[in-house]
Amino acid sequence: MTEVPVEDAKLVTLARAARARAGSRQGAAVRDADGRTYVAVGVVLASLQLTALQLAVAMAVSSGASQLAAAVVVGAEPDAGPGLHALRDVTPEAVSYHADPDGTLR
What phi and psi values does residue 29 have, to the nearest 5 degrees? -140, 140
Return the number of other C-beta atoms located less than 10 Å from residue 79's C-beta.
23
Query: 3-12, 16-25, 35-44, 50-59 — which is least confidently predicted?
Result: 3-12
> What domains are there in the chain, each with its CATH number?
6-99 (3.40.140.10)
pLDDT tens for 41-94 read 999 999 999 999 999 999 999 999 999 999 999 998 887 799 999 999 999 999
C-alpha distances in Å from residue 63, one per residue of 5, 8, 13, 60, 68? 24, 20, 22, 5, 12
Global pTM? 0.93
Instruction: Render pLDDT for 96-105 as a digit per residue (tens, 0 to 9).
Output: 999 999 999 9
Tallying the residues shown for the chain, one arrives at 106
Residue 1 has pLDDT above 50, yes or no: no
